[in-house]
Each structure stands twice: as C-alpha cells, then as structure tokens.
Structure 1
Amino acid sequence: MHDTGTVPQSAPAPRETPAVPSLTEDPTGDTGRHARRFGLPVATALVMGNIIGGGIFLLPASVAPYGTVSLIAFGVLTVGAIALALVFGRLAERDPRTGGPYVYAREAFGDFAGFLAAWAYWITTWVSNAALAVAAVGYLDVLIPVNHHRWSACLAALALQWLPALANFAGTRYVGAVQLVSTVLKFVPLLLVAVGGLFFFDPHNLGPFQASGGSAVGAVSAAAAVLLFSYLGVESAAVSAGEVENARRNVGRATVIGTTGAALVYLLGTLSVFGTVAHDRLVHSTAPFSDAVNAMFGGSWGGWAVALAALVSMTGCLNGWTLLSAQTPYAAAQDGLFPAAFARRRRGVPTVGVAVTVVLASLLTISTYTSGAGKVFETLVLVTTFTATVPYLLATAAQLFHLVSGRREQVDRARLVRDAVVAAVAAAFTLWLVAGAGYAAVYQGVLFLFAGIIVYAVMAARRPKSG
C-alpha cells in the first residue's frame, strides 16, 4: 500500500483552524520537559493499562449471573475487540493525529459526525471513570472497611478519581510513568491468579451453563454488553496518537499487542475464578479475585494482596482514562466543535478537559452513592456500552468509506479484501453490542446524545463562516 498520509479530497476543509497538533507541539509554546512522546512500550502499556483496569477484577462476578455461557460471549467479544484494534491501527496509519474516532469520523463524514463521535466518547470516558471508582471501593473495602458507611465509601471513590487527575496536571511525562509502573506491578498477582488458579480448578464450581433463563443468544448478547466495559480502552493509542512516536507504525502495533495481551489475561483470569469460587458465592462477590486467592491458599493474606493489586490497577486505569477523557474534546476544540477552553494545555495536558471530566465524574459518583451504588453501577456500565459503540461504529464506518471509495488500497487487492472483512466484523460487532445493552441503557444513552445536538447547534452558530 502506498500511503502518503495526505487527507482525502472528500474530507471537510478546515474552517480557519489548524490541523490537530500533537501535545508535544503545543501552540502556546509549552514543549518543556513535562511533555514527552510515548514510545511503543509506553503506548502498549497505555492500551493494556486502560483495558486491564477494573475490568479484570470485576468481570467474573459481573457475568456470573448469566452462567458459563458468558465464556462464549467472552470469546465473541475478544474477536470483536481485536477487529476494532486492527481497524484503529489502519486508521491511525492514514491519519496519526490526536483524537482517534473523532478525527476519523470528521475526516470521512464531516463536522457533525465528528462531533457525535467526540461527544459520545467524552461521555463514555467520564461515566466510565465514575463507574470504575465505585467499583474500586469494593476492593478498598478488603483493606480498609469503607463500604459500611455510604459517605466514607463516596469519599474514597472521589479520592481515587482525583489522585490520577493530579498526576495528569503534572504533565504527560508523569502520566506515562504512572501508566508504565502500574501496568507492570499489576501483572504479578494477575498471572498468579490466571495461571495458578488453573491448578486449583474445580468443575463443580462452574454452576449452570445458562443461569439467566431465556435464549442462549440473548444471554450471550447481554453478557457481552456488560463485558464491553472491561474492554474499553482498545482505542487508547489511537486517541493519543499525537503523543506516540512514529504513530503511523506504533499506534497499530500497540493497539493489537495491548488488546491481544489483555484478552489472554482476561480469558485465563475469568476461567480461573470461575473454577475456584463456587457459583452461588461468586454471583454476590464484590471482590472476586480476592475470593479466588483465598479459596486457593486459605486465609485472607492472599485476598489482601490481590485487593492491593486491584487498587494499583484501577488507579493506573483511571490515570490513563483521565488523559483520554481530555484528548478527544481537545481535538474537537481545535476544530471549533467544542468550547475553546478545552484546547488549553499546560505541560502537555489539556488541563481544562481533565478538570471538567473529573468534576463531572465526581458529581456522578456522589449521585451514585446517594441513590444506591449497586444498581446504578450496572446501569452506568451499560450506558457506557452504548455510548462507546457510537464512536466505534463511526470509526469503523470511516474505514469502510475509505475502502469502498478505493483510494490508496487499489494497488493491493489482497489487503483491501482483508481490511474490508475486518471492518465488516467490527461493524457487525458494534451493532450487536447496541442490541445487547438493553432498552434502558439505550434510552439513557440517547438522551446524552440528544443533549450533545444542542451543544453542537450552539457551537456551529458561533463558528466563523468559511469562504
């Protein structure tokens, strides 16, 4: 393939705004030592760290009510996630700018599609942060009893959100360092459970194949919708492409390597927990990996160690997601589709975007504990499933658009066919997830999207007319 990196002729012309620069090319002149590009190892760690956050530690208990049929959902989800990873890698080769799905959707379909991708992805990030912080408290409770009092749990969840935000305010140099360290530290206990648990595997603990009733297809779809929350982050390197060295090459590699590695850890970890913790106990567990280690070795020391690892993992995940939450609004603000304040940066980080995101997530966290964390947490997970599919589907549609239009891929028919099959799988996968999210999640997600249309109308009216 001959990829010149130029923008296709069908792309919308910029309206008196520059192309989205990388964070290391700050127009304000902020290119100091705190702003540093990510190499392939850190970019891969960003992907894996954002995927393997709270998901791996919550996944077994979240899908246990569906029975072992959820393992089938897990396999289908993994195939879909890898297909999305390949799509993002190919799109990043074409346009390695910060913003990910937003950039791809706007280039292919215009401002409104780009705004919808940015708006939906931004909602996904800060709602996910709130849900992840609420989930992290379940493991913190193993170390320090905080869940017995609603407001002490709420304060703990808020602290877990604000500490990563402070790391982001310190600059991208520290974001990358925290991400790399937290990703490395979490793998020791994860591999202990994922691999060691296989030696303690008891088939009698698996429970029924289909525990939720109804059709098997419906159970697989419902389980996959919950599981997608654990896979959010597959687009991390693409969203932060402007900060990745040699982005055309490394974004795709980091995305595929990170997603595949996370999938392997998920599969072994979920299978081990299913086989070491009795099904009736797993359904009600708030710290399934701690319960698994306690079942493997007895006592409580193992569960305590895993709970500590879970907190490290979730903090690292929140660190990465906090950065991502500011990247897409930053890219959209550069094009005049988000308020200009979101384009302000300090030490390589869009600080306004970070601040607004952590405030919104904090308010949502307080609301969660006020109205009852359990049910609201599940609702938040499903809402993020729906909102995440919007930018995923638009990015996949952008890839299909470029393939069908025939630019650049005409010289390599084999690659054209391969990319088309992968993009079709990713598109079908995202539509399937929308169906699995359920009516309530789709209803609430659509309300979020419709609110964005009002914002777009205001921003479009305020933009200077071109020509």
Structure 2
Amino acid sequence: MAGDRDSSDPRLRTSAGSLGLMAAVALVMGNMIGSGVFLLPASLAPFGWNGVIGWLATISGALVLAFVLSRLTHARPSAGGPAGFVTEAFGRRAGFFISWIYLVSLWTSVVTIAVAAVSYLSSMMPFLGRGAYVPALAAIALLWLMTLINLRGTRAAGGFQIVTLGLKVIPLLVVIFLAVYVVSSGQASLPRFDATEVNAGAVNGAATLTLWALLGFESASVAAARVRRPEVNVARATLWGTALTGVLYLMVCSAIALLLPRDQAAHSAAPFATFVSRFLDGDVATLVAIFAVISCIGALNGWTLLEAEMVRDMAARRLLPAWFAETDARGTARRALLISAVVASLFAAMNASRTMQALFEYLLLLSTSATLWLYLACALAALKLGVARVPALVGTLYALWTLWGAGIGASGLSFVLMVLGLPIWLWLRRSDVD
C-alpha cells in the first residue's frame, strides 16, 4: 500500500525509555484500578456466586489476551505496540481504523474517570455536584491537571503512578484482611454455593460488568516506546499487572458482595464504606471517598500518558499528521499530549448537560465497547502472524464473546465511531502526510 513504512522506522522510536519495570507494572495496575472497584460490589451482589464465576471468566480472558500481547511484543519488538501488530498483520488501513477507535476509547476513558473522581469529591464538597455544568468543568480541570503532570515528562508521570498505586491498594488490602478476619471469627459466613443457581445468562451478565474494571491490561504494550528493555519488561508488566489486579479485584469484590446481606450490598451507594463500617466502628465513608479519589486520579494520570502516546505513535506511523510525532528534550510528545487534552475536554463539555451519573454511564459504555475492537484485532493479528496461535484463538473467541455481551447497541455505536474516522483516512491517503 502506498505510504506504508517499515515498522522499524526510527521515527517510531522515542528517546530511551523512562519507565522501568516497576513503573510499567504501576502503569498497568494503576490504569486497571480506577473507579470500578469501588462501585462494582453493589452491581455484582444480585448475581451471588455467578458474580464470582463471572470474575473468573473475565480474569481468565484478560490473562489470555495479556499473554498474546506479551508474545507479540517478544516476537515483533519493532512493531512498537498493538497498533503496530495490527498494521503488520493486516496493513495500514486496518491499523488506522483500529488505532482510531482505540484512541476514541482513550479520550472517553479519561473523561469517564475524571467524572467519577468529581463524583467522589462531591460527597466531600457538595458544590461540585450542583448544576448542569459544574461537574463537567471540574472534570475538565482534573484533565488539565494530569496533563500538566505528564508535560513534566514520562519519568514524572511514572513516579506519580507508583505513588498513587501504593495509596490506592490500601483500602483493597483492608477489605481483604477484614474479610478473612470476620469469616475466621464467625462474625459472617459465605453463602452456600448451589450449583443449580449457576446459569450462563447470569455469568455473562456479571462478566460484562467486570470487564470495565479490567480494561487497561494493554497499557504497557501501548506505551512500549517509553519502557526500558520493552522486549522483556512489557511482557512482565502486562502479565504481572493483570494477574495481581485480577486477584485483588476477585477477592475484594467477592468479599463485599457475598459477606454483606444481598439487599444491603445491592442498594449501597458506597459498598466499600458499607462493608467496613459494618464490621468496624466509626464513620469510614469520607476515608473511602478520599481513597477513591486517589484511585481515580492515579488512573487518570496513566490514561493521560497513554492517549498522548497513542497520538504520537499514530503520527509516527503516518496514521495522523507527522506534526504530532515530535517530542521535546525529555521525550515528551507535547503536541500529542495537548491535543489529546483539548479533545477530551471537548468530550466533557459536549455532554455537560447530562447528569453526573448519566454522563458516567454513557461514557463508560462507549469506552468499554470501543476498546474491545483492539483486543479482537490483536488476537486476530497473532493468528495471522503465527504467534501463540492457541491462546490467540482463545483470545479471539473471548473478544467476540465480550462484544456480544456488551450488546448490539454498544458494539454498534463503537463501530459507527470507527467508521467516523473514514474522512481522516481518506485525507491522509490523498495528501500522503509526512
């Protein structure tokens, strides 16, 4: 195809990676652990043990896809990430449309997380939840705060990610240790497992809910150009980060959903706080809200890094104007970072008339369904390139299952958004941007 270039093109590579293994693991885990874990126990409570099985299915699928990405990174290190794998397997056109829909998912994800952070902040500062435009403006302010941190360089963003990850796992560990204590002391007991209550529909419903919480395991692969020794560290960060996050999520969400009375868990607006306050004295709602805000801000930082890196990578591959690929002395793609912040701000502003909950749910649905296309394309690319074919086949089936589980409305909307990139593609082909 005219305009294609070798994936080893030096413009695809940036300055020496600024993220070591620990920072890369923190990027994966920090992007996965955001707002979902603090709300999911309430949504999963009605599913009972079906929710646990749903978690196991989602974690297994995510680990398979994470393994496929790690093997692709090892087998095709010059590809530079998921977009490169798809381009090598199916050509520049497929690489553009998959990259485009994933970029859209990044823009909507950062707004989703920012809105969730503002939602938690509003419990401590009620004025943030008032009116039609205050929540959106507060979310935009958070978007630009994270942009400023990333403008200081990848090393600064990576350090911030490590710190926030260390803080955000504290409430998760508290819940796990508290759950072990209350079960061992007889204060509460797990409901009896009844195999007759397990059904495919409920498991699929639970797995669809848990999917949002596990999005982001591809983070180290997307940011491979920023990782030191990517041929080794990207695979480790992807697999370790996915496995550790999956175990934390499984234990925490299952403990809250199963140990609280089902009606109480299902109708709790803050299931974490409800669980801790039930078994410990004191008002913990404010403390949980603080950790939830920290969790969201850490995830927002990591996704901000990824959206800028995705724009830079697409520009380096001639999938966007090359102007966006330029980096400063620190290796920061300032233009890509700033344009991403502007676009994300526009997403928030355009939906400012929605209520906070409606805005969150709308963007959550959009970003989740949009990301699934990348997972499917990478699994198919591995099959085409002959890399980890059995896991790739399993990953393909899992990705198709999740697209079906997301519903025709969500998957159809994300496909429409993919097609909306057609004018950009046609313009790139016509002008042969360099």
Q: Which moved more, 1:182-191 or 1:280-289?
A: 280-289
Written as runs of structure 1 = structure 2, the 5 A alignment for 1:153-302 is: 153-200=135-182, 202=188, 216-300=199-283, 302=284
Query: 1:306 matched to which residue of 2?
Result: 288
| SS in structure 2 at match of 1:371 | coil
The answer to whether 1:88 aligns with 2:57 is no
**Aligned pair partner of 1:430 in 390, 394, 399:** 399
| SS in structure 2 at match of 1:238 | helix
| Paired AA for residue 424 in structure 1 | L
Conservation of the 8 A alpha-carbon contact between 1:57 and 1:287? yes
**Aligned pair partner of 1:18 in 9, 20, 25:** 9
The answer to whether 1:440 aligns with 2:421 is no
Cα drift, residue 145 of structure 1: 2.5
Query: 2:381 matched to which residue of 1?
Result: 398
- Percent identity for Structure 1 against Structure 2: 35
Pick closer, same or farther for the CA change 1:463–1:148 going to 2, 3 Å.
closer
| Paired AA for residue 141 in structure 2 | A
Residues in 2 aligned to 1:353 and 1:396: alpha-carbon distance in whole angstroms: 27
Residues in 1 aligned to 2:222 and 2:323: alpha-carbon distance in whole angstroms: 19
Residues in 1 aligned to 2:7 and 2:142: alpha-carbon distance in whole angstroms: 40
| Paired AA for residue 439 in structure 1 | I
Conservation of the 8 A alpha-carbon contact between 1:138 and 1:286? no
Residues in 2 aligned to 1:62 and 1:356: alpha-carbon distance in whole angstroms: 35
| Paired AA for residue 114 in structure 1 | G
Pick closer, same or farther for the CA change 1:357–1:280 going to 2, 3 Å.
farther
Any stretches of 5+ residues in structure 2 without a counterpart?
none
Q: Which of structure 1's runs of 4+ aligned residues deviate more than 6 A? A: 204-211
TM-score after normalising by structure 2: 0.90
Query: 1:131 matched to which residue of 2?
Result: 112
| SS in structure 2 at match of 1:455 | helix
How many residues of Structure 1 are paired with residues of Structure 2 in the alignment? 427
Residues in 1 aligned to 2:5 and 2:295: alpha-carbon distance in whole angstroms: 40
Residues in 1 aligned to 2:422 and 2:217: alpha-carbon distance in whole angstroms: 26
Conservation of the 8 A alpha-carbon contact between 1:118 and 1:329? no
Cα drift, residue 441 of structure 1: 0.9
The answer to whether 1:337 aligns with 2:299 is no
Cα drift, residue 261 of structure 1: 0.4
Residues in 2 aligned to 1:16 and 1:278: alpha-carbon distance in whole angstroms: 55
Residues in 1 aligned to 2:303 and 2:311: alpha-carbon distance in whole angstroms: 13
Conservation of the 8 A alpha-carbon contact between 2:105 and 2:367? yes
Pick closer, same or farther for the CA change 1:192–1:228 going to 2, 3 Å.
same
Give per-residue Cα distances to partners, 1:367-387, cap 9 Å, x unaligned: 444122323422322222221
Cα drift, residue 121 of structure 1: 1.1
Residues in 2 aligned to 1:317 and 1:219: alpha-carbon distance in whole angstroms: 29
Cα drift, residue 205 of structure 1: 8.6
Cα drift, residue 358 of structure 1: 2.3
Cα drift, residue 106 of structure 1: 0.5
| SS in structure 1 at match of 2:5 | coil
Pick closer, same or farther for the CA change 1:292–1:426 going to 2, 3 Å.
same
Query: 2:368 matched to which residue of 1?
Result: 385
TM-score after normalising by structure 1: 0.84
Any stretches of 5+ residues in structure 1 without a counterpart?
1-9, 26-35, 404-415
Pick closer, same or farther for the CA change 1:37–1:69 going to 2, 3 Å.
same
Pick closer, same or farther for the CA change 1:139–1:198 going to 2, 3 Å.
farther
Pick closer, same or farther for the CA change 1:365–1:294 going to 2, 3 Å.
farther
Pick closer, same or farther for the CA change 1:436–1:287 going to 2, 3 Å.
same
The answer to whether 1:145 aligns with 2:114 is no
Pick closer, same or farther for the CA change 1:464–1:358 going to 2, 3 Å.
closer
Residues in 1 aligned to 2:171 and 2:64: alpha-carbon distance in whole angstroms: 28
Residues in 1 aligned to 2:236 and 2:214: alpha-carbon distance in whole angstroms: 17
Q: Which moved more, 1:218-227 or 1:427-436?
A: 218-227
Cα drift, residue 78 of structure 1: 0.3
The answer to whether 1:105 aligns with 2:86 is yes
**Two-structure CA RMSD over aligned residues (Å):** 2.8
Conservation of the 8 A alpha-carbon contact between 2:380 and 2:396? yes
Cα drift, residue 39 of structure 1: 1.4
| SS in structure 2 at match of 1:69 | helix
